[in-house]
Amino acid sequence: DLNTFKDPKRARKLIGAIEAVAPEHATLMEVCGTHTVSIARFGIRNVMPAGTRLASGPGCPVCVTANEDIDVAIALARTPDAIITTFGDMTRVPGSTSSLNKEKAQGRDIRVVYSPLDALAVAKANPERQVIFLGVGFETTTPLVAIAIKRAKAEGLANFSVYAACKNMPNALDVLMGDPELKVDALILPGHVSTIIGMEPYRFLAEKYRIPGVIAGFEPLDILDALLMIFRQLSEGRADIENAYARGVMPHGNEVALAAIDEVFETCTVSWRGLGPIEGSGYRIREEFAAYDAMRRFAPTVEETREHKGCRCGDVLRGIMTPAECPLFRKACSPENPIGPCMVSSEGSCAAYYRYY
Ligand code: SF4
């Protein structure tokens, strides 16, 4: 229903233009959880020209967090007298044998916050307790985590630390686009992440893989604009990185945020759910800020990491399977009883499919 678009007239025009230039066959992938939700919510798949399709990629930070990281978070929650602060979705993600919510039910102190800076406030209000923030997110979250650590150091806050599990998107895209099983012709690039990193880090997509990429905003018309730009590139045989979200993204990103990340973190190899270990895709706290690293402070131990039987989140995150193709979808797995993180997180593909299809 075109009336769900804020400006149905413009939407109709864009859809007509998209149909006029779309190739016979093309698979486009979105790699941002907010896009996944917008695409599902506004029914954008229904206006894709015949022969073309939209696949979802690893755009939900909670979903790509590996089971071993969830297990470490649970082990940290068992630290005597600790307060765990985290974004809400993380509390429901099942680890190998427990979840943060289950730990909370057993009396551990787990609090939902909306920003790492809120976690700092919890630390200040509880000077006799150790407050650990679970740093999970992409380039939009990482600068805030860096700022929280810098502030804690500047204020001499001795009871605050971070479990650093943030990730960056371009290195994951490099691995994904090199995957022979995945046939993607173009990428809808994430608006929020690009606000921080700008356009340059995606250049390799066009140069190494000849894959067009267009940065998109989150309103339905923004996404249609980006689709039109992608289809134009495909029909002209071009592969460029373009920006359909000029009101939010500067070509060089946000230099202040990037400097904060660089001051506090260095990149390292980390494991992604579904994609495995990816070089340079994670952030480790630098030596100068080691006192704020929960891993160094508490050295948590995890006995055994096991995957969830039957859950296909890994394949969903690689875009080689739609949530509906998972045998557990809508059967054993639902938002009330999620088996994997893609059904837990509000930005997860399985949750978006469950809600809107
Ligand atoms: Fe995993 Fe559930 Fe998604 Fe299947 S539907 S991939 S079990 S989260």
Convert the pLDDT of each residue in 62-84 to its tens digit: 999 999 999 999 999 999 999 99
Q: Is the C-beta atom of 197 inside 6 A of ligand 1?
A: no
Q: How far away, in angstroms, is 349 Cα from ligand 1 center?
A: 9
Q: Measuring from atom 7 of ligand 1, which residue has the nearest CA?
A: 311
Q: Is the C-beta atom of 94 inside 6 A of ligand 1?
A: no
Model confidence at 4: pLDDT above 80: no
Q: Measuring from atom 5 of ligand 1, which residue has the nearest CA?
A: 329
- Distance between CA atoms of residues 97 and 72, nearest Å: 12
Model confidence at 5: pLDDT above 80: no
Q: Is the C-beta atom of 316 inside 6 A of ligand 1?
A: yes
Model confidence at 24: pLDDT above 80: yes
Give me the mean pLDDT over the 53-64 stretch.
95
**By C-alpha distance, which of 137, 124, 132 is closest to 163?**
132
- Rounded to 10 degrees, the C-alpha dihedral 6/10/16/20 comes to -120
For the stretch 301-331, pLDDT in tens is 998 899 888 999 999 999 999 999 999 999 9
Buried-exposed string 151-170: b where 16+ CB fall within 10 A, e elsewhere? ebeeeebebbbbbbbbbbbb
**Single pTM value for the model:** 0.95
CB-based contacts of 263: which residues, under 8 Å, 6+ apart?
Answer: 146, 150, 286
CB 145 within 8 A of CB 133: yes
ipTM for the assembly: 0.99
Average pLDDT, the chain: 96
Q: How far away, in angstroms, is 241 Cα from ligand 1 center?
A: 32
Model confidence at 1: pLDDT above 60: no
Backbone torsions φ then ψ of 111, nearest 5 degrees: -125, 140
Q: How far away, in angstroms, is 331 Cα from ligand 1 center?
A: 10
Q: At what angle do helices 116-125 and 142-154 cross, to 10 degrees?
A: 30
Q: Looking at ligand 1, which atom is closest to the CA of residue 341?
A: 8
For the stretch 111-149, pLDDT in tens is 999 999 999 999 999 999 999 999 999 999 999 999 999
